[in-house]
Structure 1
Amino acid sequence: MKVNKYITGLSMAAISFALASCNEFLDKYPDSRMDLKNPSEVSQLLVSAYPSAHPAYLTEMYSDNTDEQMHSTWSTFDRFQEQAYQWKDIQEVRNSETPYQLWEAHYTAVATANEAIAHIKSVSNPHDYDAQLGEALLCRAFAMFQLSTVFCQAYDKTTAQGNLGLPYPTEPEQVVGRLMERGTLEQLYANIEKDLLEGISLVGTKYARPKFHFTKQAAYAFATRFYLYAQQYDKAIKYADLVLGNQPGDILRNWAEWNQLGPSGNVQPNAFVQASNNANILLLPVPSEWGVISIPVLAGSKYAHGEMLSKNETLQAPGPWGNSGTELLYTVTYNNGVSKYALRKIPYVPRVIDVTAGIGIPYSEYAVFNTDETLLERAEAYALSGKYAEALKDINTELTAFSKKKVQLTLDKIKDFYNSQAYYTPTKPTPRKALNPLFAIEKTTQEPLLQCLLQLRRILTIHEGFRLQDVKRYGITMYRRQVDVQSKVNALTDSMKVGDPRLAIQLPQDVISAGITPNPRNK
């Protein structure tokens, strides 16, 4: 088995090639054959330690944000989209967001980080490289964390010792054919935490374009999400505090200003990921078709976030703040004759490689960490810690920025709303979905508060790939529905309940063939 291909990524020459980007920041790369001589050259190398792929397209298709839309003119975009929606083990490799490409891109980032770390360990003056070492460790931890959200089950303290993790390379591959074991999810999280904490202690602050690097703030935002998923809520709150400061409302997205831009073209998407926006903490430009698949154009309309979802569960559904579509600060985009209901958040920029041949690569950009998400992550950590007043305060801080009338909720109003909603069924959908996590939830106050947080985050992060993680962490049952143009469910074709092995997306077939243990499947 060629471990340097299947585990630790591509060669150093391929690293420079694979991460070419339409973004100016990523247009220049160090020579892959360079002999590293100083901290500046290591910093240049670390430009390639950020993954050249993002799982949003895959995880949105896989999640309950997508239905099968039944109309004669609505067709699938490609085999990858169909396999992802149908929860099949995906065989397609060409699309930039397939499991194969995600695996390659993230392990390439790990390989780059390991090259940098190995060089730093070899020099006589390693402390001169502290900032570079911190960034390399954070990049390695981030790449592995992202992979865990795709290829692993959700972390839970009661099952992490038994669930599969992922190979975690910590040094450049020297022996071709050495098989690395996956280990357990508990071991994977321990390795991520070790790199994360050491990286936080070392990472620097001086970057020409800080929104494309792990700054202290980005490292703290990463730690917030990691510890929330790791069920260490006090630590999630601690690091969120370091991101948000004493006045978090001052650094949230200006949703009113963004909404006024209008949904045509790339105007709103470009503004959403603008580096000068204080809400954006870490930006990741990657090859991606999701910027066009997610919006109301005909391409890929068979599997989409459609009217039934929008009006009953997400963008236009009722919430304790009122009607989401009229009370929250966004304009839902849709077109007659197209199935999709969307927000314009993901840029789509084709980069031309060969004008004559008409060859190009589509690119998007993602705000992988931002202050609004960090605030809601802290609110969830408070809610799960039984600190309901603090959770409510964070929700209201977000709603001050995200609602037209600066809505302020009370615990009673939240409880009254969700208690008045029947639990979701696939034919009678509501925003209130049954929660079946492996941990206990107090029913009177905690569950309605969590329902509020999950609904608000589902709306706020629509199209960004986060919903599947909430589904996995809270044991929410997903259904596959065939929905006609009158938003009537014609058929239920599948369901995925808590504990379903398909919640861990299958590894690429090439990786399995190379000897890596696949994710289990029911016979």
Structure 2
Amino acid sequence: MKKKLLYILTIIASLGFVSCDNYLDTTPDNRTVLDSEEKVKELLTAAYTEATYGMFCFSMSDNADDKGSGHFTQINNQQGYFWEEFTDNGQDSPAYYWDGCYNAISHANQALEFVEKQRIGGEVPAEYLPYYGEALVIRAYCHFMLVNLWGKPYTPATAESDLGVPYVTEVENVVFKDYKRETVAKVYELIEKDLEEGIQYVADEVYEVPKYHFNRAAANTFASRFYLYKGEWQKVVDYSTAALGSNPSTYLRDLSGKYADMGLNEQVAEYSKATEPANFMLTSNVTYWFHYFQATLQYAYTPYIKANLFSNNFLIESEWDWSQPTASFGEGDDLIVKWGFFFKRIDVNSDIGYYYAMTPKIVAEEALFNRIEANVMLKRYTEVEEDLNLYFEKRIKWYSDTHKVTEEKINGAYLNDSHADSPLAPWYGFEEEKQRTYMNCVLDTRRREFYYNGLRWFDIRRFSLKVEHKVKNGTPIVLEADDARKVLQIPIPAQQYGLQPNAR
């Protein structure tokens, strides 16, 4: 892939991007020769895409707000905020992520093809099983992300006809190959097949740093996400519990304890460490989506977001009680502190290179929130409150029994959609009002937790939420619940290869 080179001293310059190669453009013979277990292991390290969805998903969601002129503009941030068609194909763009996912799938398929040839008596040799499992889970995950950006949200009533994405299971052995878009139902069927087959063989022991791979906790959390979208609640609970173990609290990011004793630079460094228990899987991403740009972009965190999201919590009396560190890069350029970046020079004597972020892609908090959601739908409200209390204990300063979640407190803040931007309308509906009330609480809390991560966009799609974006000195713009723009347009190069575009 080609990446944009930046001079260190021109960080604030206008960002131009170089496109990533389309996944159909790669010469099929330009591959690593596989002849050993170690080569397969090495190949799979390249099956974790350096592309990331964080910036454009954040920009499209209700987590972004307009600061007005005088702040840094970036094309994907701007076009995402206005729900325009994305025209860039460089890093942090949808096209770049599309390419990155299919390139990752290509690496996974190459590994799988080799492993299949090693079968003895129809069985995969034991030494290859961990890599066989990992490759299948990677393939499932990448297709899952693709279909949930370029296809409609999974809805059983329409999934058999809704267009999804191509599900690629073979190594490309020709330069040009015809692909077709499977239906959303078919993509989900194939994801489930790969996931269920692969997850049983995932093994932490074969890697020096398991958190740079789909380890057991990460794979189980991904499985819980998959079944959450499908509405299979007990499976969500089972996979989340497998990821979290018998004492979930030990895995949650301790913002009110350990992090509270650190300086900001220490917190940024700690956030992306493999030794942080909350980080189930980390990926190295070529991106500008790290703290400096999260603070300085025009469409980002504002006093309005602070007041209505982080200073407004049904369990606390003051914003100072919430353990979420903030920082500033200048007037109006504030941010919620999460991950930072590192700079990779093209050689030791050069001042040019690439910006990377070590991004927590799958975390313990997601497993917990997936379980909480599922238990809401199973009407296990006691378990919901218990898990929420585990979470808030790590997020509220000086947490005590007075902060404990109760039905009365949830009703006071969330009954009758009083705290929602628009009524929740998931495909599976609610059997009783109590489910809706509790789910409002869960989604509101989840939104805070995954600020900047991009996951809010997927929640907006799942629950058919309306989004309003303010325009400084202008009229607010609205993305309606059923707006076609919630489904990204198929990248132009892929359309040129014959893939049907999405309706507009």
Q: Does the alignment reach a TM-score above 0.5? A: yes
Partner of 1:178: 177
Kindly tell me: are residues 361 and 335 of structure 1, through their superposed partners in 2, closer, same or farther at Cα, counting changes over 3 Å?
closer
Give the Cα–Cα distance (whole angstroms) in 2 for the partners of residues 153 and 213 of structure 1. 28
Matched, 1:258 2:255: no
Given candidates 67, 71, 76, the residue that maps to 1:74 is: 71
Partner of 2:375: 382
Residue 150 (structure 1) shift: 2.1
Partner of 1:413: 409
Give the Cα–Cα distance (whole angstroms) in 2 for the partners of residues 213 and 116 of structure 1. 15
Give the Cα–Cα distance (whole angstroms) in 2 for the partners of residues 373 and 325 of structure 1. 24
Contact 1:9 1:108 in 2 (8 A): no
Kindly tell me: are residues 124 and 251 of structure 1, through their superposed partners in 2, closer, same or farther at Cα, counting changes over 3 Å?
closer
Give the Cα–Cα distance (whole angstroms) in 2 for the partners of residues 421 and 229 of structure 1. 22
Give the Cα–Cα distance (whole angstroms) in 2 for the partners of residues 248 and 387 of structure 1. 18
Q: TM-score, normalised by structure 2?
A: 0.89
Give the Cα–Cα distance (whole angstroms) in 2 for the partners of residues 259 and 12 of structure 1. 51
Matched, 1:309 2:302: no
For 1:427-466, what aligned pairs fall within 5 Å after superposition?
Answer: 433-442=422-431, 444-466=433-455
Q: RMSD of aligned C-alpha atoms?
A: 2.3
**1:80-108 CA deviation, whole Å, 9 max, x = no partner?**
222121111111122x1111211111101
Given candidates 101, 104, 109, the residue that maps to 1:106 is: 101
Q: TM-score, normalised by structure 1?
A: 0.86
Contact 2:118 2:125 in 1 (8 A): no
- Residue 257 of structure 1 aligns with an amino acid whose one-letter code is K
Residue 434 (structure 1) shift: 2.5
Residue 499 (structure 1) shift: 1.7
Contact 2:416 2:437 in 1 (8 A): no
Kindly tell me: are residues 343 and 222 of structure 1, through their superposed partners in 2, closer, same or farther at Cα, counting changes over 3 Å?
same
Partner of 1:28: none
Partner of 2:10: none
SS at match of 1:482: coil
For 1:355-366, what aligned pairs fall within 5 Å after superposition?
Answer: 358-366=351-359
For 1:209-288, what aligned pairs fall within 5 Å after superposition?
Answer: 209-255=209-255, 256-263=257-264, 265=265, 267-288=266-287
Give the Cα–Cα distance (whole angstroms) in 2 for the partners of residues 371 and 228 of structure 1. 15
Matched, 1:333 2:334: no
Give the Cα–Cα distance (whole angstroms) in 2 for the partners of residues 259 and 177 of structure 1. 54
Kindly tell me: are residues 502 and 250 of structure 1, through their superposed partners in 2, closer, same or farther at Cα, counting changes over 3 Å?
same
**1:276-321 CA deviation, whole Å, 9 max, x = no partner?**
122211111110101045443x4x2x21121111211x222x2221
Contact 1:270 1:347 in 2 (8 A): yes
SS at match of 1:182: coil
Identity of aligned residues (%): 27
Kindly tell me: are residues 517 and 249 of structure 1, through their superposed partners in 2, closer, same or farther at Cα, counting changes over 3 Å?
same
Residue 348 (structure 1) shift: 1.5
Contact 1:167 1:182 in 2 (8 A): yes
Kindly tell me: are residues 124 and 459 of structure 1, through their superposed partners in 2, closer, same or farther at Cα, counting changes over 3 Å?
closer
Kindly tell me: are residues 44 and 335 of structure 1, through their superposed partners in 2, closer, same or farther at Cα, counting changes over 3 Å?
closer
Contact 2:369 2:446 in 1 (8 A): yes
Give the Cα–Cα distance (whole angstroms) in 2 for the partners of residues 37 and 475 of structure 1. 48
SS at match of 2:66: strand
Residue 136 (structure 1) shift: 0.7
For 1:2-151, what aligned pairs fall within 5 Å after superposition?
Answer: 6-7=22-23, 10-11=26-27, 32-33=31-32, 35-71=33-69, 73-76=70-73, 78-94=74-90, 96-125=91-120, 126-128=124-126, 129-151=128-150
**1:451-479 CA deviation, whole Å, 9 max, x = no partner?**
11111111111111111011111111001
Contact 1:423 1:434 in 2 (8 A): no
SS at match of 2:99: helix
Kindly tell me: are residues 46 and 278 of structure 1, through their superposed partners in 2, closer, same or farther at Cα, counting changes over 3 Å?
same
Give the Cα–Cα distance (whole angstroms) in 2 for the partners of residues 136 and 455 of structure 1. 34
Give the Cα–Cα distance (whole angstroms) in 2 for the partners of residues 153 and 365 of structure 1. 29
Matched, 1:322 2:316: yes
Give the Cα–Cα distance (whole angstroms) in 1 for the partners of residues 414 and 79 of structure 2. 34
Give the Cα–Cα distance (whole angstroms) in 2 for the partners of residues 127 and 6 of structure 1. 34
Give the Cα–Cα distance (whole angstroms) in 2 for the partners of residues 107 and 336 of structure 1. 39
- Residue 485 of structure 2 aligns with an amino acid whose one-letter code is R
Given candidates 323, 334, 342, the residue that maps to 2:335 is: 342
For 1:491-502, what aligned pairs fall within 5 Å after superposition?
Answer: 491-502=474-485
Tell me which moved more, 59-68 or 244-253. 244-253
Residue 173 (structure 1) shift: 1.3
Contact 2:28 2:175 in 1 (8 A): no
Give the Cα–Cα distance (whole angstroms) in 1 for the partners of residues 84 and 496 of structure 2. 18
Q: Unmatched 5+ residue regions in structure 2? A: 1-20
Tell me which moved more, 451-460 or 349-358. 349-358
Give the Cα–Cα distance (whole angstroms) in 2 for the partners of residues 58 and 386 of structure 1. 35
Give the Cα–Cα distance (whole angstroms) in 1 for the partners of residues 165 and 282 of structure 2. 25
Following TM superposition, the consecutive aligned residue runs of length 4 or more in structure 1 with deviations greater than 4 angstroms are 5-9, 11-14, 354-357, 420-424
For 1:196-215, what aligned pairs fall within 5 Å after superposition?
Answer: 196-206=195-205, 207-215=207-215
Give the Cα–Cα distance (whole angstroms) in 2 for the partners of residues 285 and 223 of structure 1. 22
Kindly tell me: are residues 454 and 147 of structure 1, through their superposed partners in 2, closer, same or farther at Cα, counting changes over 3 Å?
same
Partner of 1:503: 486
Kindly tell me: are residues 232 and 159 of structure 1, through their superposed partners in 2, closer, same or farther at Cα, counting changes over 3 Å?
same
Residue 389 (structure 1) shift: 1.6
Contact 1:9 1:109 in 2 (8 A): no
SS at match of 2:194: helix
Give the Cα–Cα distance (whole angstroms) in 2 for the partners of residues 288 and 103 of structure 1. 15
Residue 382 (structure 1) shift: 0.6
Partner of 1:26: none
SS at match of 1:241: helix
Given candidates 334, 342, 346, the residue that maps to 1:353 is: 346
Q: Unmatched 5+ residue regions in structure 1? A: 15-31, 425-431, 484-489
Give the Cα–Cα distance (whole angstroms) in 2 for the partners of residues 120 and 272 of structure 1. 36
Kindly tell me: are residues 274 and 356 of structure 1, through their superposed partners in 2, closer, same or farther at Cα, counting changes over 3 Å?
closer
Tell me which moved more, 202-211 or 148-157. 148-157
Partner of 2:290: 291
